[in-house]
Chains A and B, each alone.
Chain A
Amino acid sequence: MNLAFIGFTVVSVVLSIYASTFYSLAGKRLPVFMRSYSLAYFSLALTFLIWAFASLNNEFLKNFVIIGDSLLLLGSILLLNVLFNQNKNIKIFSIVTGVILSLIFIWLRINYYQPMPFIENGILVFNTQTIVAVILNLVFILIWLPANLVAAKKVTANISIEGMTYAYSFIYGVSTIAAILFITFKTIPMVIISFVALGICFVMLLYSNYVINKLLPTKL
């Protein structure tokens, strides 16, 4: 039984549901720019789906990890639209910079820091080089985490229940930290434990989506 395939597929489905909820709410009960947020999560869902199929075939493992990295960076660029939505000039500048830096990163990944993933007992270990892990972690800390906090504020802005912003910020924040640990770890026990933490976060994310649907006012 390939645990990596099952785990990644389940996460991909959960992220797709999460993203589709936001996509349907954007422009109606949430600001239009939240569509970029949902597209970023669609991109992340596709990343997990690609990793799932990568874990079935060792031959394509390396290439699929690079494609996954590219989609992760695409999602990060989409999130810049969420982060800098208030200022058009900064938004355009950050997106252009993001595209250039992403292309440089992918070029370096193909030529100098090639992925070295392996599968052991049905578990996919990314075995990411320290410098690559640091860069990806910085992307999560500097883009995904703040963008998630912006999303938490936007989602709870029209829900006047004490503690909701705190709870949503916590879920989005802790999910990002769990994802960082999952990418960083290189040993099987650590990968499994961090994946369990990530799984709990996804359960909270899914239920938070359900709550949003029920509590948000029907119109902005």
Chain B
Amino acid sequence: MNEEIYPKNQNPQIQDIPSVVSLPQSSVKPSYKANNWIALVYVVIITITWFNDDPVLSGILFLVTLVMGLIVAGSFINRINKANKNTQNKLVKVFFSLVGVGGGMVIFIIAFISGLVGWLNTHPIRGD
């Protein structure tokens, strides 16, 4: 209705909307780039972990995957929290909270089991 009554750019409701609703681009892009690099390094480490035969190296790589899992999960939760703060919708807030907690857990579990498989390759539990 408003579009019919008011010409473009003269609708009072549109003019009331502040111009700083969206996040500044500079605060979003670097975190995406960092995530891509972390993901790439993570894939390389996992690949080495799965095909490695050295027990000492597999232990070190297991720890590295755990630390990287924590970093990636933390970065993800941080990104979701930012989005959560920028919305007023209760349904979306619950959604972001669920995705933040659940997603963080899944990232860490994936990092944990990926590293654990490599470690178990060189440290058999039952000697088999």
Chain B residues contacting A161 (CB-CB under 8 Å) are 83, 87, 89, 92
- A209 vs B82: C-alpha distance when bound (angstroms): 22
- A215 vs B22: C-alpha distance when bound (angstroms): 19
- A194 vs B112: C-alpha distance when bound (angstroms): 10
A contacts, CB < 8 Å to B: 161-164, 166-167, 170-171, 174, 177-178, 181, 185, 187, 190, 193-194, 196-197, 200-201, 203-204, 207-208, 211, 214-215
- Chain B nearest CB, measured from A67 CB (Å): 28
- A207 vs B91: C-alpha distance when bound (angstroms): 10
Asked if residues B91 and A214 are in contact (CB atoms below 8 Å), the reply is yes
Main secondary structure, interface of A, reads helix
- Chain B nearest CB, measured from A194 CB (Å): 6
Asked if residues A208 and B106 are in contact (CB atoms below 8 Å), the reply is no
Asked if residues A211 and B106 are in contact (CB atoms below 8 Å), the reply is no
Across the interface, A204 reaches (CB within 8 A) one of B103, B107, B114, namely B103
- 20 pairs, A vs B, C-beta closer than 8 Å: A162-B23, A162-B86, A163-B82, A163-B83, A163-B96, A164-B83, A166-B79, A167-B95, A167-B96, A181-B114, A187-B120, A190-B117, A193-B112, A193-B113, A200-B105, A200-B106, A207-B94, A207-B98, A208-B95, A211-B91
Chain B residues contacting A196 (CB-CB under 8 Å) are 109
Apart from A161-B83, A167-B80, A207-B95, 18 more pairs, CB < 8 Å = A161-B92, A166-B79, A167-B96, A170-B99, A171-B103, A174-B107, A174-B110, A177-B110, A181-B110, A181-B113, A187-B120, A197-B106, A197-B109, A197-B113, A201-B102, A204-B99, A208-B95, A214-B91
Given A163-B83, A177-B110, A178-B110, residue A215 in contact with residue B91 (CB < 8 A): yes
Asked if residues B106 and A201 are in contact (CB atoms below 8 Å), the reply is yes
Asked if residues B76 and A170 are in contact (CB atoms below 8 Å), the reply is yes
Chain A residues contacting B76 (CB-CB under 8 Å) are 170
- A201 vs B107: C-alpha distance when bound (angstroms): 11
Asked if residues A163 and B110 are in contact (CB atoms below 8 Å), the reply is no
Chain B residues contacting A197 (CB-CB under 8 Å) are 105-106, 109-110, 113
Nearest residue (CB) in A for B114 is: A181
- Chain B nearest CB, measured from A218 CB (Å): 16
- A69 vs B103: C-alpha distance when bound (angstroms): 28
- A207 vs B92: C-alpha distance when bound (angstroms): 10
